[in-house]
Each structure stands twice: as structure tokens, then as C-alpha cells.
């Protein structure tokens, strides 16, 4: 199979979908890899390193899309990329379709096969291709929260740890999965007063065990969320219902009641956001805006800022799946690997992931039917 890797074009997106090690792996499996010029530079990989590993470098995205059977990317396609796809071409990337109906309709029109990293799911319900970036974004969320709590950055002037004689900052994390757990690790490490809210009591028990009493756990309901949020210095939104638009758990009224200079970081913004006032994604170029005196951070590609770490972590997990798809062809890979089947969101003009179809109010076609 011919694999094409374009350079990412989202604002400050420095990740790339393949490393030289990944290229070598595809080539050993009998495939060809074409990479757009300078695609890896933001992650510290030169064209020469890719060439030495066996890839061929192409000057433009157009050439990459034209030649490839499968496009491997990091982020969802942006409008300048829509028309570059060929019908039947496989796209393996983060898609987050539930957050963007226009993109979904454009990709349905192109008749591609869209396999979304974020819905590839193992039998234990874990999300192996979302996890590495959730680890990064979870850890970053506290780092950026602490930064924007500083007075010169617009915040209320609070140090997460406090100091002897002064209480630490209150951090509330909504969603205790991968993002939430990684956020809690950093926040606890920095000495903050951390509360994690989740809807799953089993998960709350696990978190209580993992953190050995160093975090407070709270059941998710609007009463508890309101109390925790309005008393917090930093709120981190980290919920997920795989594929679906995120539920809006923090309302505008709750934000109004927060103290001025408090910070909210809605990591779940890539699925539409779980904080009502985080109503649009921001970019690394302009990461925040202020509403009701509260600083809002809603960057949808947080790991792009620490691209070297993120590219290595992401491709450690995505490349083995990419090779499986390339070795078997997507139809056979879907038949033999249920995790990959769950990753398929789009097939030849049909939407094959129910939670996405329901969120966007678009018709759903079961995968087996779409593959006939």
C-alpha cells in the first residue's frame, strides 16, 4: 500500500503522523511512504532522516494526497484539504466528527474511508490511540492552568501549591479518565487541593485507591458540580462519551459565580466541550479569552505544543495499527480486528459510528451494511 503523510496545517500543530522509525517499519512490511516536505520539522525530524529510513519526499500536499492509498494525519482535515481526498481513500487520523458537522458532510461527500484514532476501542473499552494524547493534554492542562492563574497572565494571582500558612489552590477536574487522572497527578504533585468528579462510581473507587487519599472524589451531578466549580480556582473539563458530543456539565451560571481571574481549561473541547461558555475552540496562537471575568482556555490540539514528546507518544501507538490496516487492507483489518472496526466512522459516503450520527442528527448506517 502507498502511505501518504501531509504536513499538518492547523494553527501551531507541530506534530506529524509518522517518525523515521515508523517509516522503516512500513517499508519492512512492503509498503511505500510519501511524506510532504518539512512535515516532521516541528517535531524535530528532518527530510533527510525520513529519506534515510526509506521514505520519498514530495513538495506539496496535493502530490501526497494524489499518490496515497492511505493518508495518515494527526488532526482532522481542514477546509483546504477537503478537496484533495479521492473517493475510497483511507484516512487514518483524529477526526472528532461530532464537533463539526460541516467537516463531516464534506468528508461524506468525498466518499472516503475515515478511521478515527479516537474511537479505535479495545474489548476492555479503553481507547489505545486517544490515550497517549490524553496523557499529554491532562498533564499540560494543569501546567497551562497554573500559568494563567498568574497575575501577569490575567489570573487571580494564586500559586497552586500555596505556601506554609496559606492554603493551596482548589482544582476541580470533571472526568476521571486518562486526561483527568494525568491532570490530577500533576496537580497533586504541585500541592493543589484536588477534587475529581466522575459519573462512574467504579472509577471513583479506583481513583481513591490510585491517589491514596491525596484527592477528593465526588459523584457527577449538577448539585456537586456547581458547588465544586464555583469554589475552584482552576476547573479542568475532561469528560468523554466516545464519539459523542461532550455533555455540557458546567453552565454559564456556574461560571458567573466563579471568582474573577479563575481559570477553566476545557480539554474536552475537541468533542464540543463540557463547559457551556467554552463555545468555540481556541488556538495556541490565541489560547484564551475572558468571559464573566473567568479565563477560558479551549485549545483543541493541546499536545501540538509539545510536539516532540507528542509525536513520539502518538506514533508509538498509531503506527502498529496503520501497519495492520496496510498489510490486510482496511476491509480485512475491520473484519479481523474489532478495535479497528470501531475506529471506522465514515465509509463511502455513509456515517458508520452511531454516537457521531446521533450527535449530528445525520443518518447512521451500520458498518457491515456500508461495507457491502
The residues annotated with a catalytic role in the active site are 96, 270
Which of 177, 303, 322, 343: binder of ligand PYR (CB under 6 A)?
Answer: 303
Nearest to ligand PYR of 278, 371 (CB atom): 278
- Shortest Å distance, C-beta 247 to ligand NAI: 5
Q: Strand pairing partners for 282?
A: 299
**What's the min distance (Å) between Cβ of 213 and ligand NAI?**
20
Q: What x-and-dash track marks residues 111-150 binding ligand PYR by CB under 6 A?
A: -------x-----------x--x-----------------
List residues forming the annotated binding site for NAD(+).
134, 198, 203, 220, 239-240, 267-270, 299-302
| Cα(240)–Cα(191) distance, integer angstroms | 26
The answer to the question of residue 137 lying near ligand NAI (CB under 6 A) is yes
Nearest CB to ligand PYR, comparing residues 75 and 170: 75
Residue 171 touches which of ligand NAI, ligand PYR, none (Cβ within 5-8 Å per kind): none
Strand partners, 313: none
177 binding ligand NAI? (CB under 6 A):
yes
Binding residue numbers = 15, 75, 134, 198, 203, 220, 239-240, 267-270, 299-302
Residues in 112-131 that interact with ligand NAI by CB under 6 A: 118, 130
Assigned C-alpha cell, 45:
525530524
**What is d(CA 72, CA 200) in angstroms, rounded to the nearest whole number?**
34
**CB of 143 or CB of 161, closer to ligand PYR:** 143
Closest CB to ligand PYR among residues 119, 230: 119
176 binds, among ligand PYR, ligand NAI, none (CB under 5 to 8 A by kind): ligand NAI
Per-residue b/e over 243-263, b at no fewer than 16 CB within 10 Å? bbbbbbbbbeebbeebeebbb
Site string for ligand NAI, 147-166 (x = CB under 6 A): --------------------
CA distance 129 to 18: 14
The residue nearest ligand NAI at its CB is 177
All three cell numbers of 215: 484527592
Distance between CA atoms of residues 366 and 163, nearest Å: 56
Instruction: Find which of ligand NAI, ligand PYR, none residue 356 binds, CB within 5 to 8 Å per kind.
Output: none
Segment 73 to 102, residues that bind ligand NAI, using CB under 6 A: none
Q: How far is the CB of 268 from ligand NAI (least distance, A)?
A: 4
Residue located via cell numbers 511505500: 32
Exactly one of 119, 220, 345, 359 binds ligand NAI (CB under 6 A); that residue is: 220
Q: Which of 141, 248, 301, 345 binds ligand PYR (CB under 6 A)?
A: 301
Smaller CB distance to ligand NAI: residue 222 or 338?
A: 222
Q: Contact with ligand PYR (CB under 6 A): which of 94, 148, 297, 353?
A: 94
Phi, psi of 251 (to 5 degrees): -90, 165
The verdict on 193 binding ligand PYR (CB under 6 A) reads no
Residues that bind ligand PYR in the complex, under the rule CB under 6 A:
75, 94, 96, 118, 130, 133, 270, 301, 303
Instruction: Name the residues that contact ligand NAI, by CB under 6 A.
Output: 118, 130, 133-134, 137, 174-180, 197-200, 203, 220, 238-241, 246-247, 249, 267-271, 299-303
Amino acid at each position: 500500500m502507498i502511505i501518504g503523510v501531509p504536513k499538518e496545517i492547523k494553527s501551531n500543530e507541530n506534530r506529524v503522523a509518522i517518525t523515521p522509525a515508523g517509516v522503516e517499519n512500513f517499508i519492512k512490511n512492503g509498503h511505500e511512504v510519501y511524506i510532504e516536505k518539512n512535515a516532521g520539522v516541528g517535531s524535530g525530524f528532518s527530510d533527510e532522516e525520513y529519506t534515510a529510513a526509506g521514505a520519498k519526499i514530495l513538495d506539496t500536499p496535493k502530490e501526497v494526497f494524489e499518490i496515497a492509498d492511505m493518508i495518515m494525519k494527526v488532526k482532522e482535515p481542514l477546509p483546504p484539504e477537503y478537496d484533495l481526498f479521492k473517493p475510497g481513500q483511507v484516512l487514518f487520523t483524529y477526526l472528532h466528527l461530532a464537533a463539526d458537522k460541516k467537516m463531516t458532510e464534506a468528508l461524506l461527500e468525498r466518499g472516503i474511508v475515515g478511521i478515527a484514532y479516537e474511537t479505535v476501542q479495545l474489548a476492555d473499552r479503553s481507547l489505545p490511540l486517544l490515550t497517549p494524547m490524553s496523557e499529554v493534554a491532562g498533564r499540560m492542562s494543569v501546567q497551562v492552568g497554573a500559568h494563567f492563574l498568574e497575575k501577569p497572565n490575567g489570573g487571580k494571582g494564586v500559586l497552586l501549591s500555596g505556601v506554609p500558612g496559606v492554603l493551596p489552590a482548589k482544582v476541580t477536574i470533571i472526568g476521571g479518565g486518562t486526561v483527568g487522572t494525568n491532570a490530577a497527578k500533576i496537580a497533586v504533585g504541585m500541592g493543589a487541593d484536588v477534587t475529581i468528579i466522575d459519573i462512574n462510581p467504579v472509577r471513583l473507587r479506583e481513583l481513591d485507591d490510585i491517589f491514596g487519599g491525596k484527592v477528593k472524589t465526588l459523584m457527577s451531578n449538577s448539585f456537586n458540580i456547581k458547588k465544586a466549580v464555583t469554589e475552584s480556582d482552576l476547573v479542568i473539563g475532561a469528560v468523554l462519551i466516545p464519539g459523542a458530543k461532550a455533555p455540557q456539565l458546567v453552565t454559564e451560571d456556574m461560571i458567573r459565580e466563579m471568582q474573577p481571574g479563575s481559570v477553566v481549561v476545557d480539554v474536552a473541547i475537541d468533542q464540543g466541550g463540557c463547559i457551556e461558555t467554552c463555545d468555540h475552540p481556541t488556538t495556541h496562537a490565541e489560547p484564551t479569552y475572558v468571559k464573566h471575568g473567568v479565563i477560558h482556555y479551549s485549545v483543541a490540539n493541546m499536545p501540538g505544543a509539545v510536539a516532540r514528546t507528542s509525536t513520539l507518544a502518538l506514533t508509538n501507538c498509531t503506527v502498529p495499527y496503520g501497519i495492520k490496516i496496510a498489510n490486510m487492507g482496511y476491509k480485512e483489518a475491520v473484519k479481523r480486528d474489532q478495535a479497528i472496526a470501531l475506529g471506522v466512522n465514515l465509509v463511502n459516503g455513509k456515517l458508520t459510528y452511531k454516537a457521531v450520527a446521533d450527535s449530528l442528527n445525520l443518518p447512521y448506517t451500520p458498518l457491515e451494511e456500508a461495507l457491502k
